[in-house]
Structure 1
């Protein structure tokens, strides 16, 4: 008997330097290899926001080696669930995909104090997404 195929989730924001990176890191932490995780940006930055790296490190997750990636149609097509976070109309739409739009403040240009509540809200939403996908959260 073959094991079920892991669902794939794509997180998209403009710069792929903050919100989508945090969401991908939380999903990877909580689901391991039971979910395929991708993140991308419609206009990727050169590096992940340092305040985001610091805020995530406070949770025990190191994303300092992550590199913002450009959003491609192939990436969207390869994903079951596409979660946008302020990328607007830049995200290609394909029928049959599940799209969610998470309205979240943009951490760009913010200090770590302003990033923490965004991080905590993303963590809450990722846990909710895993429940919807019927994927148990790894302690």
Structure 2
């Protein structure tokens, strides 16, 4: 199962969730992330936090959501959008007609205490990822996945 996590810049929130999912998910589930307007690099404080939590950051880099669209793209089974700006944009056509969900997560970059905001975002995304992975997501249909994502957004 391939999960695609979206955010505008793909330099903080979506990178965090990609890393959390890849660390927590069982074999057979792989997360990727992309942005509608990708940044040039992952935010340094995000990388520092992930490294401090023993996450491998060597392959983390912003990518464009169009890299996951079109007939030749890798099939994606689930798309999770993390910000209202990206949610408001017309997404590319994803191959495989994946389930989709929206978790509105505030952008920690630029907050008054940016490091604390990034840490709080990491914790929030970790709670949601763990809640998602309690479900048998590999065998759930698109409607069940979408409903689970909505419930998790309200609870975690």
Listed one character per residue, the Cα deviations across residues 29-60 of structure 1 (whole Å, up to 9, x for unaligned) are 11253202211100000000111112222322
After TM superposition, the structure 1 = structure 2 runs for residues 90-105 of structure 1, keeping only pairs within 5 Å, are 90-92=90-92, 96-105=97-106
Listed as ranges, the gaps of 5+ residues in structure 2 are: 139-156
Decide which of 128, 133, 153 is 1:130's aligned counterpart: 133
SS at match of 1:82: strand
SS at match of 1:12: strand
Distance 1:91 1:77, change over 3 A: farther
Question: Comparing 56-65 with 97-106, which one deviates more in the overlay?
Answer: 56-65
1:70 corresponds in structure 2 to 64
Decide which of 72, 77, 82 is 1:80's aligned counterpart: 77
> What is the TM-score of this pair, normalised by structure 2?
0.72
Higher RCO, 1 or 2 (CA under 8 Å, sep at least 6)?
1
Cα RMSD, aligned residues only = 2.3
Question: Comparing 15-24 with 89-98, which one deviates more in the overlay?
Answer: 89-98
Task: Tell me how many residue pairs correspond in the alignment.
Answer: 129
Distance 1:92 1:56, change over 3 A: same
User: Distance in 2 between the 1:22 and 1:84 partners?
Assistant: 13
User: Distance in 2 between the 1:65 and 1:93 partners?
Assistant: 25
Distance 1:109 1:126, change over 3 A: same
Q: Is the CA contact 1:9–1:36 (under 8 Å) kept in the aligned structure 2?
A: yes
User: Distance in 2 between the 1:117 and 1:76 partners?
Assistant: 33
Listed as ranges, the gaps of 5+ residues in structure 1 are: 1-6
Instruction: Quote the offset at 1:112 in angstroms.
Output: 1.1
